[in-house]
A = this chain, B = another copy of it.
Amino acid sequence: MIELIKGNIIEAKTFGDPAITQNGYLAAKDGVVLGVFSALPEQYANLPVTDYSGQLILQGFCDMHLHAPQYPMLGMGMDLPLMDWLKTYTYKTEARFADSDFARGTYQRLAAELVKNGTTRVCIYSSTHADATRILMQELERAGIGGFAGKVNMDRDSCECQEGTEESKRETLRWLEECAQFKKIKPILTPRFTPSCTNELMGWLGKLAEERGLYVQSHLSENYKEIELVKRLHPDCEQYWQTYDKYGLWKEHTIMAHCVHSDAREQQAMIDHNVLCVHCPDSNINICSGFAPVRQMKNRGVWLALGSDIAGGAQLPMLQVITGCLRMSKARAIATDGAEPFLTVGEAYYLATSAGARYFGDRDGFAPGNPLHAVVVSDASMPPSARTLSVQERFERAVYLADDRAITAVYGNGQKIK
């Protein structure tokens, strides 16, 4: 079935200004993009058109790093130092997901919030619980969200959340068996981060990743104390990334969140192995991790996308993550006296869409062959403007001002899901 959508189409085709097709047509067949057209192609002339004229059609957002079981603590404990925050809130909250009913209600709500805000694909952490992870995946899939979800592995120094090593292995295998039922949302191995996993578990996960061709997600170089701790735990590794590499976890499509303090060598290791770095601006500032060198990493060729990182981040909507990214890039520009120029709206939009979509095999923008992921934004209720605005200006304003009320439709994997 061919679907035609009309509106102002805004594509992140490159890391730069978006490509804009004013009053254009986006065509898809069976949920797969056929192309973007400035005028309706003759062969589609008799087909019905879904008319979003006057509205903005953006690409669906990819949230490449977030913690589902931290959703209940969104916006709380932000005055606490990291370790107190983990102990007072994070581990206790995650432990609650042993209760499947609590997990069901929470994840239903989370999935609905994601869709409402235009996030159509995620790479998401669950808790250690195999059952709650299955429930999370069910609720995401039911809501129409695609991507990867991972049962967290953590058998060291993790308070209420800690598993035994054997338990962690057994539950991981049990969870993986149950993942066959999912079509849109796939399993990804998720050692929480080096300090929370024994070497034995890390090694076992690395082998499992290889045997089953699974991707891996974890955290890297978020703050100085963590980096020092990793050094003490792995004195044989010169750099943090090598603690993953040692166990076969540093490889093509591995996702590393944060990388705030990764130096040129660690960045090069990402490039060499096609590791995806996920920048989480709101988390970086809330937890005082630092100003990530986003412009520098992009210039060097690191593959970089964005994440909300709830609940270190307090903002689930990716439009807020984009403006958070812009503001944090300005903080970096201030801190480097302008040596690292701030990001533009178009650049941050690229990081929130096409850069993440590549993880799922897409090409940049609404490229033919991509599954259709789109977000329709109305700016009808924005402040009255002093003159006629260009679509580019309206796009920039929408990025800063639109909330879920302005998002009038969302398409996830070809389906209209809002």
* Cβ-defined contact, B72 with A386, below 8 A: yes
- Is A385 among interface residues, defined by CB-CB distance under 8 A? yes
Which of B75, B93, B291 lies in contact with A401, CB distance below 8 A? Answer: B75
- Is A331 among interface residues, defined by CB-CB distance under 8 A? yes
- Is A335 among interface residues, defined by CB-CB distance under 8 A? yes
CA distance A177 to B203 in the complex (A): 80
Which of B105, B113, B333, B396 lies in contact with A75, CB distance below 8 A? Answer: B396
* Cβ-defined contact, A74 with B383, below 8 A: yes
Which residues on B sit within 8 Å (CB–CB) of A399? 75
* Cβ-defined contact, B285 with A383, below 8 A: no
* Cβ-defined contact, B290 with A334, below 8 A: yes
CA distance A291 to B331 in the complex (A): 8
**A345-372 Cβ-contact flags toward B at 8 Å (1 or 0):** 1000000000000000000000000000
Which of B76, B113, B282, B285 lies in contact with A331, CB distance below 8 A? Answer: B285
Distance in Å from the Cβ of A26 to the closest Cβ of chain B?
25
Q: Which of A92, A102, A326 has the most CB of B within 10 A?
A: A326
* Cβ-defined contact, A330 with B72, below 8 A: no
CA distance A96 to B73 in the complex (A): 45
Given contacts A384-B106, A386-B92, contact A342 B397 (CB under 8 A): no
CA distance A31 to B285 in the complex (A): 41
* Cβ-defined contact, B286 with A327, below 8 A: yes
Which residues on B sit within 8 Å (CB–CB) of A382? 74-75
* Cβ-defined contact, A384 with B72, below 8 A: yes
* Cβ-defined contact, B314 with A400, below 8 A: yes
- Is A274 among interface residues, defined by CB-CB distance under 8 A? no
Distance in Å from the Cβ of A45 to the closest Cβ of chain B?
37
Which residues on B sit within 8 Å (CB–CB) of A74? 382-383, 397, 400-401
* Cβ-defined contact, A285 with B330, below 8 A: yes
A window 184-221: CB within 8 A of B: none
* Cβ-defined contact, B383 with A109, below 8 A: yes
Which residues on B sit within 8 Å (CB–CB) of A385? 72-73
Which residues on B sit within 8 Å (CB–CB) of A238? none
* Cβ-defined contact, A285 with B76, below 8 A: no
Which B residue sits closest to A342, measured CB to CB?
B288
- Is A236 among interface residues, defined by CB-CB distance under 8 A? no
Given contacts A71-B383, A76-B396, A326-B78, contact A288 B333 (CB under 8 A): yes
- Is A42 among interface residues, defined by CB-CB distance under 8 A? no
Which residues on B sit within 8 Å (CB–CB) of A345? 78-79
- Is A387 among interface residues, defined by CB-CB distance under 8 A? yes
- Is A53 among interface residues, defined by CB-CB distance under 8 A? no
* Cβ-defined contact, A96 with B334, below 8 A: no
- Is A403 among interface residues, defined by CB-CB distance under 8 A? yes
Which residues on B sit within 8 Å (CB–CB) of A71? 383
Question: Please, could you name 25 A-B residue pairs with CB atoms under 8 Å apart, sorted by A?
Answer: A72-B386, A74-B401, A75-B396, A75-B398, A75-B401, A76-B396, A76-B400, A77-B393, A78-B345, A78-B400, A79-B344, A93-B386, A102-B384, A106-B383, A106-B384, A109-B384, A285-B327, A285-B330, A286-B327, A288-B333, A288-B334, A290-B334, A327-B327, A331-B331, A334-B335
* B-binding residues in A (CB < 8 A): 71-79, 92-93, 96, 102, 105-106, 109-110, 113, 282, 285-286, 288, 290-291, 314, 323, 326-327, 330-331, 333-335, 342, 344-345, 382-387, 389, 393, 396-401, 403
